[in-house]
């Protein structure tokens, strides 16, 4: 259902962009200046590539997560800690109404955890060895509840949806800008000249930065939702205690690959970096739970 929503939303975005483009007169304005683009074909092209890239990343997310972190899936618990971890995840998943995810561990001194997967009933939840060593059982349970909250909320699919939409915008508008520069400024009347390639290149960089800010804003928003889900599943005070513990350990560098940063745990950025951070500052997350 969420994949269908993904496709329908991107189709709706393409249709809305096309309608608004014509209603505001942009197409006729560009054509009067010699910009002879086939806007329908361009919009379809950008929508397809925007969607396919996000869908591909979503479908291989579990595979890439395992390879990127060296996560070992617990198929048969080797000790009491692993048995407790699997039982805890099973209980949390049952309470959240989702299928039992795969449970994994990877070697790292930094306390961290992540959840990923395209299907809420076939996800992956993993923790670092450092998290198991440095946190109390109730705090570990709260962190796992937070990750289960991501799965139950469908955050992986929704974030891919948002990424697909902004990818479509970036591809479409960067090529419109490049073509306009080529025709209007460089006075190229046929084909794609140097102005197109230069304009598209720099427009795509600028628009990608703006798009990243939008995606990261949504990522920060869903962290609050996952914290709330973790508080419901494991107890509000346990969730607060886990975040405080993470804050105390936050100086240890994270070893998660870039593509998993948004689904791990993070102290958040500072100053301008916060606009490009996938997580809000831990102090703000703790305050949100305290005021809940």
Q: Which residues are catalytic?
A: 147
3-state helix, strand, coil in the chain (%, to 5): 70, 5, 25
Structural element, H or E, at residue 116: strand 113-116
Structure-token pair, residue 176: 């419109």
Residue in the block written with tokens 């890239």: 53
Give the Cβ contact number of residue 246 at 10 Å.
23
Structural element, H or E, at residue 258: none
Distance CA 245, CA 18 (A): 49
Give the Cβ contact number of residue 76 at 10 Å.
7
Residue in the block written with tokens 């609050």: 224
Distance CA 177, CA 180 (A): 5
Is residue 223 within 8 A of residue 279, CB to CB? The reply is yes
Exposed/middle/buried for residue 67 (C-beta within 10 Å: 0-12, 13-18, 19+): exposed
Q: 3-state SS of 44-100?
A: HHHHHHHHHHHHHHHHCHHHHHHHHHCCEECCCCCCHHHHHHHHHHHHHHHHHCCCC
């Amino acid at each position: 259902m969420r994949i269908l929503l993904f496709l329908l939303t991107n189709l709706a975005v393409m249709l809305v962009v096309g309608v608004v483009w014509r209603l505001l007169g942009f197409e006729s304005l560009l054509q009067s200046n010699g910009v002879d683009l086939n806007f329908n074909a361009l919009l379809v092209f950008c929508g397809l590539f925007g969607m396919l890239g996000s869908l591909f990343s979503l479908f291989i997310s579990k595979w890439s997560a395992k390879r990127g972190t060296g996560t070992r899936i617990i198929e048969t618990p080797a000790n009491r800690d692993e048995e407790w971890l699997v039982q805890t995840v099973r209980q949390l998943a049952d309470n959240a109404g989702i299928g039992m995810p795969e449970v994994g561990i990877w070697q790292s001194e930094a306390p961290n955890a992540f959840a990923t997967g395209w299907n809420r009933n076939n996800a992956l939840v993993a923790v670092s060895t450092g998290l198991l060593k440095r946190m109390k059982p109730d705090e570990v349970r709260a962190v796992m509840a937070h990750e289960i909250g991501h799965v139950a909320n469908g955050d992986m699919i929704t974030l891919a949806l948002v990424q697909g939409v902004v990818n479509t915008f970036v591809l479409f508008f960067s090529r419109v800008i490049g073509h306009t520069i080529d025709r209007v400024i460089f006075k190229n009347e046929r084909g794609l000249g140097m102005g197109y390639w230069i304009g598209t290149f720099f427009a795509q960089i600028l628009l990608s930065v703006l798009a990243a800010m939008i995606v990261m804003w949504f990522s920060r928003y869903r962290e609050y939702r996952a914290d709330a889900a973790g508080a419901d599943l494991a107890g509000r005070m346990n969730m607060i205690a886990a975040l405080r513990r993470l804050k105390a350990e936050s100086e240890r560098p994270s070893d998660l690959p870039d593509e998993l940063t948004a689904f791990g745990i993070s102290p958040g950025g500072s100053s301008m970096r916060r606009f490009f951070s996938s997580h809000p500052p831990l102090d703000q997350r703790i305050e949100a739970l305290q005021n809940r």
